[in-house]
């Protein structure tokens, strides 16, 4: 039976072979961009290990259903509390790892976003990785190998998940989830081939509302507003909650990326296909060099937003870059 994973067939084949051949690693590190499916693959691996049927994972047996519902006593998903994966969380994992499984052959621990682990938390995990109990499988996730301690990476089997081809993702959204083809195409493109993100966006009305607002603001700024208006927008955005602010800056990045695709003859790579005419109009109004500069500024702004830094100053610079003249 195929695993219920969108894309990543090569990774599924490796993990299935490890299970069937008895060559399971005691620790795996799944890397890749946010929303690509790292945690989903980890949970599906847990189902395959604990499944009670011949064809694993069946998705229907008690063990598979309990893993999916997050209530299986031998599977633990550990996620950061706020911005940090705390040392207390990891110490609880090490304590639980020392105990025998309650009802399954393995205890499976999925530690999501290890790049956010406090240094003490990462070090607390090392002993379990160095001397793992035979019944324990640890699955770590991170955006890249260099985002976590090399001593952790060296003790894991690493699988790097890449974005799924957009055609494959689109077809999966249509066939498995009955999403209309045009909508599935948009989700596949906007998500950049990341299945988890595509599924979230399919149910997230807020994202589309924010996108429309950001695109309206770009349209306004390209109409050459006053310097005062640009600084007013920066002040308004600086008062937003962090997650909303980060989303808006990412949407700016995405919009200007699409403008650049249009300017460089790659219109087929535009993500926001439902805004194609708007993006093409913008591409004709801005020099390519300016678009690249704004895109780089937006990327830089996003990198700094989660740090203890003057957000108003960052946004002032960003909005002044986007606008036209200073009347």
Query: What is the per-residue pLDDT across 13-45, written as a single tens digit (0 to 9) for each?
Result: 999 999 999 999 999 999 999 999 999 999 999
Q: Is the pLDDT of residue 326 over 70?
A: no
Which runs of E-coded beta strand occur in 56-166? 75-78, 107-111, 136-142, 157-160
The percent of residues above 70 in pLDDT, for the chain, comes to 98
Averaged over 81-110, what is the pLDDT? 93
> Does residue 83 contact residue 116 with C-beta atoms inside 8 Å?
yes
Q: Is the pLDDT of residue 324 over 80?
A: no
Q: Is the pLDDT of residue 162 over 70?
A: yes
pLDDT for position 270: 95
pLDDT for position 152: 95
Structure tokens at 110: 């999925």
Mean of all residue pLDDT scores within the chain: 93
**Omega prior to 50 cis, within 30 of 0:** no
Whether the predicted model's global pTM rises above the 0.75 cut = yes
Torsion of CA 206, 209, 211, 215, to 10 degrees: -160
Q: Is the pLDDT of residue 111 over 90?
A: yes
pLDDT for position 82: 80
pLDDT for position 325: 46
pLDDT for position 307: 81
């Amino acid at each position: 039976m195929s695993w219920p994973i969108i894309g990543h067939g090569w990774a599924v084949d490796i993990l299935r072979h490890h299970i069937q051949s008895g060559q399971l690693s005691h620790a795996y590190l799944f890397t890749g961009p946010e929303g690509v499916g790292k945690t989903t693959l980890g949970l599906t691996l847990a189902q395959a290990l604990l499944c009670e049927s011949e064809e694993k994972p069946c998705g229907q047996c008690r063990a598979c259903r309990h893993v999916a519902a997050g209530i299986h006593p031998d599977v633990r998903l550990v996620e950061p509390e706020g911005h940090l994966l705390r040392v207390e969380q990891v110490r609880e994992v090490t304590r639980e790892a020392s105990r025998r499984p309650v009802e399954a052959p393995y205890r499976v621990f999925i530690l999501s976003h290890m790049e956010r682990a406090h240094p003490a938390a990462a070090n607390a995990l090392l002993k379990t990785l160095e001397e793992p109990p035979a019944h324990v499988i640890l699955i770590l996730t991170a955006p890249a190998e260099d985002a976590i301690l090399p001593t952790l990476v060296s003790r894991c089997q690493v699988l790097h998940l890449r974005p799924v081809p957009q055609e494959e993702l689109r077809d999966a959204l249509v066939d498995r989830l009955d999403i209309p083809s045009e909508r599935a195409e948009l989700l596949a493109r906007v998500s950049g081939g990341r299945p988890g993100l595509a599924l979230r966006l399919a149910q997230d009305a807020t994202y589309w509302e924010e996108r429309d607002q950001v695109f309206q603001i770009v349209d306004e700024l390209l109409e050459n507003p006053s310097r005062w208006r640009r600084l007013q927008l920066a002040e308004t955005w600086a008062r937003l909650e962090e997650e909303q602010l980060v989303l808006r800056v990412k949407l700016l990045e995405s919009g200007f990326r699409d403008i650049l695709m249009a300017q460089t003859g790659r219109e087929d790579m535009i993500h926001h296909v439902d805004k194609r005419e708007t993006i093409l109009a913008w591409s004709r109004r801005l020099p390519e060099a300016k678009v690249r500069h704004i895109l780089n500024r937006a990327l830089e702004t996003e990198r700094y937003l989660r740090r203890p830094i003057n957000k108003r100053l960052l946004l002032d610079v960003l909005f002044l870059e986007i606008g036209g003249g200073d009347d």
